[in-house]
Amino acid sequence: MTLAAGCGSGGGEGGGDAAGGGAVTVQAANGAVTIPATPKRIVSLSPTHTETLFAIGAGSQVVAVDEYSDHPANAPKTKLSGFKPNAEAIIGHKPDLVVLSDDMNGIVKALEKVKVPVLLEPSAAKLDDAYDEIMDLGTATGHAEQARKLTDDMRARIQRTVAASSKGKGLTYYHELDNQLHTVTSSTFIGQVYGLFGLQNIADKAEKASGGYPQLSREFLVKSDPDLVFLADTKCCAQNAAAVAARPGWQNLTAVKKDGVIELDDDLASRWGPRLPEFVQAIGDAVQKAPAAQ
């Protein structure tokens, strides 16, 4: 799933780390959601939130996840879809909590109509959104303390990586979402992550009315000549450094000539959950290896 701008979520009230705890209220994008008791049958329709649930110790409470929730490997993957959710299929798993990042096909209202608590936690628009959503899931599932420890650890790891990567200022980059040259600008969540290192995004000049996700022309990209090229389409589109070097006009790019093409894990680069520090580390490693900006 591609990271897109979305509403941030707030915090929660009540609760703690206790199985069978009392009611808690969580401020999610769909309003104040009251969860009567610690959920024992959670359905997740978001790969990011599936990762979070397992990372905070709520994995044993998860009974079903969507078809793209591939991490961790023991997540109970089903044919449920987060893009075309089917209320009847979801209800068939008898959930006492459903977690999702998109309200497609009116699924939130459909589930609320049958009294199933739903947490709508959209794609993070900024780093604080990512941390807030983890805290929301911790509160909702009875794992608030584990969620707090996780977010503290994520912050610390990211800060260490950025502090150790001092060569980014002045370097230019291009982040590829697919081999049709769709990319992100600095206004997006992904762009803000790169911004932690002081990197300059070549796509910012092409933003216009793209909502942060423009499609670049080959001519624009070649002329911009980025110092670093990050490929977030290694899985979806089978792209790698060799494939990039073989593209017309790309052989003379600085990134190609100076080993500045970085092959990312598509999932790490598109999710805003517990593995975010790994994405940050991949950027940090690339920055450290890159020649200093001229």
Task: For residues 221 and 254, state if they share a domain.
Answer: yes
Task: For residues 127 and 200, state if they share a domain.
Answer: no
Question: What pLDDT, on the 0 to 100 scale, is given for residue 44?
Answer: 98
| Token representation of residue 268 | 């790490």
Name the residue among 290, 274, 294 with its Cα closest to residue 228.
Answer: 290
Name the residue among 215, 118, 147, 148 with its Cα closest to residue 175.
Answer: 215
Residue given tokens 């950025």 in the structure block: 162
Q: How many CB atoms lie within 10 A of CB 60?
A: 11
Task: For residues 200 and 153, state if they share a domain.
Answer: no
Q: Peptide bond preceding 72: is omega within 30 degrees of 0, i.e. cis?
A: yes
Domain boundary among 128, 158, 188: 158
Q: Is 212 part of any domain?
A: yes
Q: At what angle do helices 144-163 and 276-289 cross, to 10 degrees?
A: 10
Question: What pLDDT, on the 0 to 100 scale, is given for residue 18?
Answer: 42
Task: For residues 143 and 271, state if they share a domain.
Answer: no
Question: What pLDDT, on the 0 to 100 scale, is given for residue 291?
Answer: 80
pTM of the complete model: 0.90
CA distance 171 to 294: 8
Task: For residues 142 and 27, state if they share a domain.
Answer: yes
Domain boundary among 158, 184, 210: 158
Task: For residues 97 and 180, state if they share a domain.
Answer: no
| CB-count exposure of residue 223 (10 Å: 0-12, 13-18, 19+) | exposed
Domain boundary among 119, 138, 158: 158
Name the residue among 61, 30, 57, 27 with its Cα closest to residue 44.
Answer: 61
| Token representation of residue 98 | 């459903």
Task: For residues 118 and 174, state if they share a domain.
Answer: no
Where in the sequence is the domain holding 252, given as residue range(s)? 166-288
Contact 195, 186 (CB under 8 A): yes
Query: How does pLDDT run along the chain (294 residues), one tens digit per residue?
Result: 334 333 334 444 443 444 557 899 999 999 999 999 999 999 999 999 999 999 999 999 999 999 999 999 999 999 999 999 999 999 999 999 999 999 999 999 999 999 999 999 999 999 999 999 999 999 999 999 999 999 999 999 999 999 998 888 889 999 999 999 999 999 999 999 999 999 999 999 986 756 899 999 999 999 999 999 999 999 999 999 999 999 999 999 999 999 999 999 999 999 999 999 999 999 999 999 988 765
Question: What pLDDT, on the 0 to 100 scale, is given for residue 8?
Answer: 37
Task: For residues 191 and 140, state if they share a domain.
Answer: no
Contact 1, 47 (CB under 8 A): yes
Contact 141, 42 (CB under 8 A): yes
CA distance 279 to 230: 11
Domain count, the chain: 2
Task: For residues 133 and 217, state if they share a domain.
Answer: no
